[in-house]
Structure 1
Amino acid sequence: MTQQPVDADWSRVRLHVVTGKGGTGKSTVAAALALGLASQGKQVLLCEVEGRQGIARMFDVDPLPYAERRIATGLRVGDRSPGVVHALHIDAESALLEYLAMYYKLGRAGKALDRFGVVEFATTIAPGVRDVLLTGKVFEAVQRNSRNKGATRYDAVVLDAPPTGRITQFLNVSGELAGLAKVGPIKSQSDTMMTLFRSPRTAVHLVTVLEEMPVQETADGIADLQAARLPVGAVIVNQVRPRDISAADLDAARAGHLDAAGIARDLKEAGVDTGDGLVDGLVAEAHDHAERRALEDAQHAVVGGLGRPTYELPRLAGGVDLGGLYELAGFLKTQGLA
């Protein structure tokens, strides 16, 4: 049921920004995408900016410092050697200290400012400045240059970004700074970053589940991104339930036309005790499941009308552990996103 329009070519993309409404699993999808890209033999950096140490929990490693750290390898495909996934936890305070050291040669002086609370003040007084610092580190990872000697050059960077409701503001750093800094290095840096964020080398992927509110927020997010001239990537439908019941049986369950006597007979033949209202309970559960499926099918049609390449990831019965991440990475790779 995946939809892949002709323009679904991700080969030019260097920066994959993954967003989604809270609870849709955007961090899981970002991690799976990083693993999928690494399976192509690519060197991949997986970044997070929300301060939750979600990457460390998903990959079962120690909390990440403000430093790039190798955490996994990609899937092995044939004789090709898999690439490596590095991870980076970005916080605004550390990013500002690095910025001061890199552009103003304020090494120890910058740390002194940190002790006096100047850094925390600078990164909280103006949210636009904070976003420039966070996205600036991501930009540097994509655009590695002579200022960062000896650093790993990545084929792809995956950003576990803020939720859909804030993603346009987060990426549109030049617009957010318009009333704060009209000239100077911060303004110049934000304008330079926008050349990347608005280019074909960037794609903003939106994660949703088949529920009305997340799907509507995805539609609104696409409209906001397009209005800001930011490149919309794919829509990734997460936690899709298996479609292993026929349409006819679902219709019968919704209408209350299931053969309860036949169900009871089949259970008895299988040696199952049908006492204590078991059959009635099963019929009620079937009705609820059919109603849920009908709602999901309606939202699936809405997603199909968003005009974006669409990919699906299944709901994993055992939850998502490291093995589950690799399984989801395989689905993304098979469908062509990774």
Structure 2
Amino acid sequence: MSRFQVVSGKGGTGKTTVAAALALALATEGKRTLLVEVEGRQGIAQLFETESLPYEERKIAVAPGGGEVFALAIDPELALLDYLQMFYKLGGAGRALKKLGAIDFATTIAPGLRDVLLTGKACEAVRRKDKSGRFVYDHVVMDAPPTGRVTRFLNVNDEVAGLAKIGPIHHQAQAVMRVLKSPQTAVHLVTLLEEMPVQETADGIAELRAAGLPVGRIIVNLVRPQLLDDDSLALVRGEGRIARTAVAKSLAGAGLGGARKGGNAERLVDPLLAQAAEYAERHALEHAQRAVLADLGLPLGELPLLAGGMDLAGLYRLAADLRKQDTDPRKQDAV
């Protein structure tokens, strides 16, 4: 199983929620996971109903079975200070540079450097070992930038090509790419059963593969339950005759008024059938998008739309769903 799990997706698909649920799912049987945020939105803190995350690794949750989830919101400026101290032993001089604004200047004029710092900090956590030689974290999960930017974000070798041909930054970028392009890493894409997110997912997979980055699985989020069986859908689509009187009687039996002509139940038949037709159209669209995703040749997983909205209990439920589907991206899920 990949130790570094990167989660991306089109904006609005719930990639941060999926990343958080995946971190919980992986922290089973006493394992430790680190959930990393790189966009500065503090989305992880909101999901876990805690205060804003500082630039330090902090335990935010305990998973079933005693596993632990830690979180880190990476600050590019503070990450740069870490690297300056690591490579140049600047000490107090580094803090002085921050006060002068030199660090902000450096990460602004050289955006590629910012990506090296963000990915480098996450990859350092992947490689880190304790004194006994064991990995500090069993898994690191990154809430990455959206699909349209994730390939460029992860392909830091290209980003630093114009910044440094040799030296610490160049060597750091190479070390990062050795992790990102190895079996240790899997990039998962979150989507909805809608045309635009599915198309962006397909484009993102093509870009990742072209860059030699390992693609993991597709996770379909916010999946609605099926309310009508196949026979009912066929009737709604006009493949049979709907007995309006029988529908009215069923409504009356549910306490929605008498079945007599002009009664409450009869007046509800047309709006009900119109709503059923809309549902059938939506169901057909989702079925078509599932077929498109299946043709991409990657494992598929699904997470349900939670009727009560997303809260901490819902996050644990999604984590349980992911565990049931098997969190190894190299195995085919039963959808």
TM-score for both structures, normalised by structure 2: 0.91
Aligned to 1:311: 301
| 4+ residue segments displaced more than 6 Å | none
Structure 1 residue identity aligned to 2:118: L
Q: Is 1:260–1:283's contact at 8 Å kept on the other side of the alignment?
A: no
- Alpha carbons 2:25, 2:323 under 8 Å: kept: yes
Match 2:23 to one of 27, 34, 44? 34
Distance apart, 1:180 and its partner CA: 2.3
The structure-2 alpha-carbon separation of the partners of 1:152 and 1:101, relative to structure 1 and needing over 3 Å to count, comes to farther
Paired residue secondary structure (2:113): helix
Q: 1:297 maps to what in 2?
A: 287
Matched, 1:160 2:149: no
Structure 1 residue 178, shift from structure 2 partner: 1.2
Checking the alignment, whether the CA contact within 8 Å between 1:258 and 1:283 is kept in structure 2 is: no
- Contact 1:210–1:299 (Cα < 8 Å) also in 2: yes
Other-structure match for 1:255: 238
**Separation in 2, partners of 1:261, 1:112:** 81
Higher relative contact order (CA 8 A, sep 6+): 1
Q: 1:150-189 alignment to 2 at 5 Å?
A: 153-189=136-172
Equivalent residues of 1:28, 1:325 under 8 A apart: yes
Structure 1 residue 227 corresponds to structure 2 residue 210: yes
Secondary structure of the residue aligned to 2:222 is strand
Percent identity of paired positions between Structure 1 and Structure 2: 58
The residue that corresponds to 1:265 in the other structure is: 249
1:102 aligns with 2:86: yes
Q: What corresponds to 1:15 in structure 2?
A: 4
2:117 — aligned with what?
A: 133
Shift of 1:47: 0.4
Q: CA deviation at 1:244?
A: 3.9
The one-letter code matched in structure 2 to 1:301 is: A
Q: Would you say 1:119 and 2:103 are equivalent positions?
A: yes
1:261-310 Cα deviation digits (max 9, x unpaired): 32212112332132694222111111111100100000001111111111
Q: Which residue of 1 aligns with 2:312?
A: 322
Partners of 2:236 and 2:273 within 8 A in 1: yes
User: Which of 223, 240, 248 pairs up with 2:223?
Assistant: 240
Shift in Å, 1:60: 0.3
Q: Which amino acid aligns with 2:104?
A: E
Paired with 2:234 and 2:110, the residues of 1 have a C-alpha distance of: 55
Query: Structure 2: 5+ residue runs without aligned partners?
Result: 258-263, 329-335
**Contact kept? 2:36, 2:71, Cα under 8 Å:** yes
Moved more, 308-317 or 179-188: 179-188
Q: Structure 1 266/191 Cα, relative in aligned 2: closer, same or farther at 3 Å?
A: same
**Residue type matched to 2:317 in 1?**
E
Alignment match, 1:87:
71
Query: 5+ unaligned residues in a row in structure 1: which ranges?
Result: 1-10, 77-81
Deviation at 1:101, TM superposition (A): 1.7
Matched, 1:204 2:187: yes
**2:59 is aligned with 1:70:** yes
Aligned length: 321
Q: 2:129, 2:135 within 8 Å by CA — same for their partners in 1?
A: no
- Larger radius of gyration between Structure 1 and Structure 2: 2
